[in-house]
Amino acid sequence: MTKHSPLSDYRFDPETSTDQAHVALVALEIERLLHEGDQSAVRDFLAGQELADIAGYVEELNVGDDLAAMRLLPLHDQAELIAYLRPSSQMEIATRMPRRELAALMTAMSHDERADLFKQLSDEAQEAILPALTKAEREDLRRLASYAEWTVGSVMTSDYATLSPDMTPTQALEALRSQALEAETVYTAYIVDQSRHLLGVLELRDILMARPRQHVGDIMDREPIFVRADAEQEEAAKLVARYDLIALPVLDGNDQLVGIVTADDAMDVHEEEVTEDFHKGSTIGPIETSVSEATIAVLYKARIFWLVLLVFGNIFSGAGIAAFEETIAAHLSLLFFLPLLIASGGNAGAQSATLMVRALATGDVRPSDFGRLLGREVLIALALGLTMAVAVSAIGVWRGGPAIALVVAVSMIIIVLAGALIGMCLPFIFAKINRDPAAASGPLVTSMADVLGVLTYFTIAAALLDV
């Protein structure tokens, strides 16, 4: 009699599939069954799961159990599953596989995922695995792996469907049917000549709607959107998003079709770029791996430069306070409002910087719009400053009298205006000098606004209080 396994009670549930505690419990049960030799229960369970969820379980398994669980899947599912794993997990599994098994797995993988895994292997492992692949696979692998990490070529795949311009709709459908197992998508086909020059692009819907005697060359789009293989990968992601493409053709310097970037790969690129912008927005340097896998040294190196630089920048705030010791000594109530004022300037600046960085990144705003936006930002900042000045005036009267209230109110208006303009202008300045506008980060804007806020506040206080 077969012993009941808790795994048999589990069915796909979107509310629990990403819950880490639940994933860990399922992984423990998989380990128990594997150690007891009940592979059939694990196999039956995995057969009913999504591969993306199975990857989560595999990530939680101990060394040895992860590969054992993976081997219970059909080869084509293994090839898709490994692409969902973190790079470190991919390497741990790949290095423990016999050469023939790894070669079979890589043969079943999509061309782009295979190239990504190949680039992670050591030089010795790469040389060992190449002879086990076919000549066509070796050539394709070397070509895809030759592109630099930041280029379109590094994220493209060579799994695409092609047609000849002289095909009839019936012939085109038959050609797509024969390529369907290998191609990433058959909803978009690429028309090429004998030298693989891109002549046009054709949607499956256009083929289905074509008249029987028409030819592919008559109904194709002769001016397709494309990207160069050596362009930055972010450019491909922008084109896919802007034109709602299923896939984007990639051409080399000779206008030959060398690959495509699919919508899902473009989404991955976009996610990487957004993550990079978030890091820059917090003055964090580039982190090549995931945060969970990054070493202490990597995280330290990514954060220390800007922190030290901003420390020295904030010294000017201290120098500004020291320069107005007499004013402060005569009106100690001024210190009560100092944190409030400089924080308000920094917050206004961070808001402006965030709006401009994102607008520049999405193309909603262009550097040529600077003059028009500057005038609008002045009006908005003045309105914000006046509103905040009114809000703190009553506190100023209570803490120091009408004179202090006037100093605080005037300072609030000017500091908020200055902070907002700093936050708006820095992204445009960075874009002008061909630097990423995201580098005009919140901490950088806040530090500059702090220094300017201190000097502005005590200068106004010294003038209005007649000290």
Residue 152 within a domain: no
Residue 106 within a domain: yes
pLDDT value for 331: 81
Q: What are phi and psi of 38, to 5 degrees?
A: -90, 70
Q: Give the CATH number for residue 59.
A: 1.25.60.10
pLDDT value for 370: 87
Q: Give the CATH number for residue 354.
A: 1.10.357.20
Residue 329 within a domain: yes
Which is higher by pLDDT, 109 or 400?
109
Mean pLDDT of 197-204: 93
Residue 290 within a domain: no
Would you give the end-to-end CA distance of the chain in angstroms? 95
**For 240-288, how does the pLDDT look when each residue is reduced to its tens digit (9 = 90+)?**
988 999 999 999 988 899 999 998 888 888 777 776 666 665 556 666 6
* pLDDT class of 6 with cuts at 50, 70, 90: low
Mean pLDDT of 97-111: 88
Residue 71 within a domain: yes
| Least confident window among 28-42, 43-57, 190-204, 388-402 | 388-402
Whether residues 307 and 340 share a domain: the answer is yes
Contact 210, 169 (CB under 8 A): yes
**Which strands make up the sheet holding 227-228, listed edge to edge?**
227-228, 247-251, 257-262
Whether residues 119 and 46 share a domain: the answer is yes
**For 363-401, how does the pLDDT look when each residue is reduced to its tens digit (9 = 90+)?**
788 888 888 889 899 999 999 999 999 988 888 788 778
Question: What is the rounded distance in angstroms from the CA atom of residue 217 to the CA atom of residue 163?
Answer: 9
Whether residues 229 and 305 share a domain: the answer is no
Whether residues 316 and 171 share a domain: the answer is no
Mean pLDDT of 23-37: 88
Which amino acid is residue 106, in one-letter code?
Answer: M
Of 281, 309, 340, which residue constitutes the final position of a domain? 281
Mean pLDDT of 294-298: 74
Contact 290, 299 (CB under 8 A): no
Of 223, 254, 281, which residue constitutes the final position of a domain? 281
Residue 249 within a domain: yes
Residue 287 within a domain: no
Whether residues 236 and 357 share a domain: the answer is no
* pLDDT class of 123 with cuts at 50, 70, 90: confident
Domain that holds residue 261: 162-281
Whether residues 311 and 375 share a domain: the answer is yes
| Least confident window among 46-50, 133-137, 226-230, 236-240 | 133-137
Of 281, 308, 335, which residue constitutes the final position of a domain? 281
* Alpha-carbon distance values, 374 to 349, 368, 371, 382 (Å): 13, 11, 5, 12
| Least confident window among 81-95, 137-151, 359-373, 433-447 | 433-447
Give the pTM: 0.65
Whether residues 453 and 322 share a domain: the answer is yes
Question: What is the rounded distance in angstroms from the CA atom of residue 138 to the CA atom of residue 131?
Answer: 8
pLDDT at 196 over 70: yes
| Least confident window among 149-158, 329-338, 342-351 | 329-338
pLDDT value for 116: 84
Average pLDDT across the chain, whole number: 84
Whether residues 140 and 219 share a domain: the answer is no
Whether residues 455 and 320 share a domain: the answer is yes
* pLDDT class of 229 with cuts at 50, 70, 90: very high
Question: What is the rounded distance in angstroms from the CA atom of residue 404 to the CA atom of residue 337?
Answer: 10
**For 307-326, how does the pLDDT look when each residue is reduced to its tens digit (9 = 90+)?**
777 677 677 777 777 777 78
Q: Give the CATH number for residue 275.
A: 3.10.580.10
Question: What is the rounded distance in angstroms from the CA atom of residue 393 to the CA atom of residue 404?
Answer: 9
Largest CA distance in the chain: 96
Residue 252 within a domain: yes
Mean pLDDT of 47-71: 89
* pLDDT class of 221 with cuts at 50, 70, 90: very high
Whether residues 305 and 406 share a domain: the answer is yes
pLDDT at 38 over 80: yes
Whether residues 415 and 307 share a domain: the answer is yes
Split into its structural domains, the chain has a count of 3
Question: What is the rounded distance in angstroms from the CA atom of residue 273 to the CA atom of residue 404?
Answer: 47
Whether residues 80 and 166 share a domain: the answer is no
* pLDDT class of 8 with cuts at 50, 70, 90: low
* pLDDT class of 159 with cuts at 50, 70, 90: confident
pLDDT at 11 over 70: no
**What DSSP element (H or E) covers 350?**
helix 334-362
* Alpha-carbon distance values, 61 to 89, 126, 235, 308, 320 (Å): 11, 26, 38, 41, 57
Beta bridge partners of 259: 250
Mean pLDDT of 153-167: 90
pLDDT value for 74: 93
* pLDDT class of 2 with cuts at 50, 70, 90: very low
pLDDT value for 1: 39
